Amino acid sequence: MPTKNCQLHHSKGSDKESYVSSLLAKMTLQEKIGQMSQLNNDAEKLDESIQKGLVGSVINEVDVIAINRLQKIAIQESRLGIPLLIGRDVIHGFNTIFPIPLGQAASWSSDIVELCAKIAAIESSNNGVNWTFAPMIDISRDPRWGRIAESLGEDPYLCSTLGTAMVKGFQGNNLSDSSSIAACAKHFAGYGASESGRDYNTTNIPENELRNVYLPPFKAVADAGISTFMASFSDLNGIPATGNKWLLNDILRTEWRYSGPVVSDWESIPQLVTHGFCADKESATFEACDAGVDMEMASDNYAQHLISLIQNDKISIEQIDTMVSRILKLKFDLGLFYSSFTESPSSTVHLNDFHLSHAKQAATKSCVLLKNNKQTLPLSKNTIDTLAVIGPLADDGYEQLGTWAFDGKASDSITCLSAIKDYVKDSVDVKFSIGMETSRSNNDDGFDEAINIASAANIAIMILGEEAILSGEAHCRSNINLPGYQEELINAIYETGTPIVLVIMAGRPITLQPILPKVDAVLFAWHPGTMGGPAITELLFGEECPSGKLPVTFPRAVGQIPLYYGQKNTGRPPSEETFVDINTIKTKAPQTSLGMTSTHLDTHYSPLFPFGFGLSYTQFDYKNIKVSEYCVPMGKSLKVEATITNTGDFDAEEIVQLYIRDLVGSVTRPVKELKGFKRIYLAAGQSETVIFVIHTDELAFYDRQMKFKTEPGLFNVWIGGNSDTELKTEFEVFCTEHDEKI
């Protein structure tokens, strides 16, 4: 049974506005500022502060008994009995850990992503958490940046679609349902463009680029009803986001009409001083509050300085009232005034069979097959006598969880080694060698043992990559190769002549070019979470067919970064005809012999694997692309279709992707833009005609005057299995006389 707030009874049906304004009328200024303060669970005198009504939210408490105790203090011992928001980074699962968000994005499945978030909400709310700081929808085009792991990749459309699905999963149909939690769009905005992929770094993003690339996912989740936003740590064009009134007020509130609260990032208010944007903490408090940050996370500047700012007429009491009411309304929407305790947490919720089976499903659909020479995969336990399993990530329940998995336990994970053994049972002799102590080890002490077991095996499955610590917040890398001696380990196993199946667990794209020729197959598994082992095993042995597609471009070399499919054409685009590899020129050469195009001399201009790429155990043939009409009036829709046939032997799923190019724009447009995708199932031999409907509004972009509109003209349109597809046709959008008059 839910417990009612003893001092402020109300029924769920009562009117939010009047409830919140009558509550606000009873509050002292200190109590109002208290609502604007979020404290960490280890803050000094936390109980006392809650009792005095000086805390609106607590972050990082996940123990149900402790949360209930804090809520009881807030509700029963504070003057007005206002319940607490209990925040936690529930990023890719709570106790059941799903693939990292970048991995989930590789599933290209709103259903998968929504259910991961829903389960995370069910498990965390059962412990009393009511607010998560997810989804992270920063467009990420620099794989050196550790937080790319938390992102949904490089593309605005994919990120908007999956970000919206995540919000639905967390928030459910009704925020006041006991298993719904508030979601938070972060980090608003531009954080993913941190210079050179160094965390917390400067971002310089021209307004047009910001609006066309970085903001769309935030606008999408705002439109989908997300409850909260988080202001980024980062400096946006000289004005840190936490103090950026143009961003937080003009765009978010005035243009987008977002009405929920904005929380700062961890200590991002005092960091306005460190940025050199404010001289002291009082002015940092002013800038953040005036910009529209309603709640301060972790630090106490609002508590320290807001009163004097109000007394000095820098901040008005009306401003404070508006901000506090946003927080109170969220509490109302969450049903906290009605039911704030988790009185009898269900013991069957956490890590239950359904949650684990979805974790396996999500990991299965997230893995991307990058190479499969001579159909090395799938393996068959009937044709293998001895299997060598090698690598530091083969049997490590912790590392497979990835970054931001605070509430997942290594002991709940099923590793690849144990899943493989369980799958093959006695029919195959499985030998294991760790090869290297960690993915970073810089010695070959373990190589001999690994070589010995590989030499005696029919197949070597090498499970390599990055440990969890190598990605995530403040975990950026200047090289994104396989760290430590892993390339050497692959070379050593290659020398044995035993075919190699490489499974990579990592939080980012890895530059695989140097080792690609040495391995027969590559399955990229990201950090797959609790059920990574069984998911990978079933893929390796053909119980499941790989279907994940890359949500981010894989470069050949780190020097190509940033490299993304939606780049601009430039005035001198590279092409196969003009590209000259400097390594092939053995004599002195005049400069103009090098093609004079936009590429590097020492690397091909193309990526190693393009956005949207992923192989299957079967093959898909794409043909007959057609548009329903060549000339499309502005304001109408057209249909684009193609026929896809599964020409191989496996029943499988394929992610059919639709890209467009606006050939001429008042500002230059990307060479390709994803505008639709569908995950379809085709039995071996089966064909399907997939139809996409595109409205001309979906072709809109921000122009020179920052007007969002579709421009008439010619468009290319492609349907294919990745962004490098060639199956293309075109259509033209034209303005009617009526359009031209307006």
Does residue 188 interact with ligand BGC by CB under 6 A?
Answer: no
3-state secondary structure of 631: strand
Query: Which residue among 118, 186, 211, 675 contacts ligand BGC (CB under 6 A)?
Result: 186
3-state secondary structure of 33: helix
Residue 40 or 619 with smaller CB distance to ligand BGC:
40
Query: Which residue among 265, 412, 662, 711 contacts ligand BGC (CB under 6 A)?
Result: 265
Report d(CA 691, CA 697) in Å as an integer: 18
Nearest approach in angstroms of CB 634 to ligand BGC is: 41
Residue 186 or 661 with smaller CB distance to ligand BGC:
186
Interaction with ligand BGC in 153-172: which residues (CB under 6 A)?
A: none
Structure letter (DSSP) for residue 203: B
Query: What single letter denotes the amino acid at residue 433?
Result: S
Nearest approach in angstroms of CB 186 to ligand BGC is: 5
Residue 41 or 322 with smaller CB distance to ligand BGC:
41
Nearest approach in angstroms of CB 473 to ligand BGC is: 6
Interaction with ligand BGC in 471-510: which residues (CB under 6 A)?
A: 473
HEC sequence for 133-165: CCCECCCCCCCCCHHHHHCCCCCHHHHHHHHHH
Nearest approach in angstroms of CB 472 to ligand BGC is: 10
In angstroms, how far apart are the furthest CA atoms of the chain? 87
Nearest approach in angstroms of CB 103 to ligand BGC is: 18
Q: In the bound complex, which residue of the shown chain has the CB atom lying closest to ligand BGC?
A: 133
Does residue 133 interact with ligand BGC by CB under 6 A?
Answer: yes
Kindly state the number of chain residues that form the binding site for ligand BGC, as judged by CB under 6 A: 6
Q: In this structure, which long-range contacts are made by residues 312-319, counting pairs with CB atoms below 8 Å and at least 24 apart in sequence?
A: 314/286, 314/290, 315/286, 315/289, 315/290, 317/29, 319/289, 319/290
Report d(CA 606, CA 284) in Å as an integer: 45
Residue 192 or 435 with smaller CB distance to ligand BGC:
192
Report d(CA 348, CA 337) in Å as an integer: 26
Query: Which residue among 20, 23, 81, 89 contacts ligand BGC (CB under 6 A)?
Result: 89
Residue 185 or 393 with smaller CB distance to ligand BGC:
185
Give the residue from 594, 551, 576, 602 showing the smallest Cα distance to 722.
551
Number of H helices and number of E strands within the chain? Answer: 20, 26
Nearest approach in angstroms of CB 297 to ligand BGC is: 6
Nearest approach in angstroms of CB 168 to ligand BGC is: 20
Catalytic annotation, pick one of 89, 138, 265, 294: 265
Q: Is 265 a catalytic residue?
A: yes
Q: Which strand (E) or helix (H) includes residue 573?
A: none
Q: Which strand (E) or helix (H) includes residue 728?
A: strand 728-734
Residue 133 or 188 with smaller CB distance to ligand BGC:
133
Pair 165, 217: CB distance under 8 Å: no
Residue 104 or 325 with smaller CB distance to ligand BGC:
104
Does residue 277 interact with ligand BGC by CB under 6 A?
Answer: no
Torsion of CA 144, 247, 323, 164, to 10 degrees: -60
Active site (catalytic) residues: 265
Residues near ligand BGC (CB under 6 A) are 89, 133, 186, 265-266, 473
